[in-house]
Amino acid sequence: MSDFRERRLRTFLEKYKDRARLLISCPDKPGIVAAVTTFLYNQGANIVESSQYSTDPEGGTFFLRVEFDCPAMRSRKGEIEKAFAPIAKQFHMHWRFTLHSEIKKIAIFVSKEEHCLLELLWEWQAGELLADLALVISNHEHMRDNVEALGIPYYYIPVTKENKREAEQKQIALLKEHEVDTIVLARYMQILSPAFVAEFPFQIINIHHSFLPAFVGAKPYERAYERGVKLIGATSHYVTDDLDEGPIIEQDVARVDHKHHPEDLKRIGRIIEKTVLSRALKWHLEERVLVHQNKTIVFK
């Protein structure tokens, strides 16, 4: 770990040692916010950020994300959760308290394209990505030196049609050994099996170009060039059994024109892809993303 990153992490942990989040989804009805804020007030908490959304005030689903400071929150977390349970039961809530000081462990999967991985490595090294980067897994060897130079374990696991099940079993064993919370597919060009996805529900984040479904398959930028597209972009989403159709976390686009050749489109696309993936991952790590059916509510 670089000295700068270590100092920044220590500063973060000290500054937010008493900060926590409460995330809630439940049937919408009057009194939810009043009950939650009164409870936090009675626990000695000070709310510093609150976001809410209802799919429909008349019988819809209500979502709430609250950040608050509370003295000795780390040691009191279990006690506060126990005290909150009756309120959660009253409103039929799905809920969780989490601590800012609980830094999530992430694993990055990568194939040959390096731009997304390098962006995440740079942000992690600079202290911009507050996560414990536990390991990198790849079906190619060529990024090993870049990763291991930062003291991050690198595992080469080749994947073929014949050994796919065995390869995924090795990957799952490593992820569990390292107690990984979040998996980032940084242009990992393998389709994960339903069995793999089921092990990590809404914990796997993918990035792809936004030409889907118009330009499915190989050479999307060349095909987009042939069609004379005027916008290109990227989409980051959670991985589900439906290929590239999981809940979308973030998207972005750039305008292009007839002067841009396929290599220009690829270059611009790479910039969008790494930016969109970084945003989506940070929002996920900060627990700003709540999944509802096949959509997300993102409290930015």
Catalytic residues: 244
Read out DSSP for 38-65? HHHHHTT-EEEEEEEEES-TTT-EEEEE
What's the rounded Cα separation, in Å, for the pair 21 and 208?
A: 30
Instruction: Say if residues 119 and 274 touch (Cβ distance below 8 Å).
Output: yes
Query: Nearest-CA neighbor of 22 among 91, 132, 100?
Result: 100
What's the rounded Cα separation, in Å, for the pair 99 and 121?
A: 24
What's the rounded Cα separation, in Å, for the pair 294 and 248?
A: 8
What's the rounded Cα separation, in Å, for the pair 202 and 177?
A: 19
What's the rounded Cα separation, in Å, for the pair 279 and 291?
A: 17
Structure tokens belonging to residue 77: 């977390």
Instruction: Say if residues 72 and 18 touch (Cβ distance below 8 Å).
Output: yes
Q: Residue 114 CB: number of other CB atoms within 10 A?
A: 18
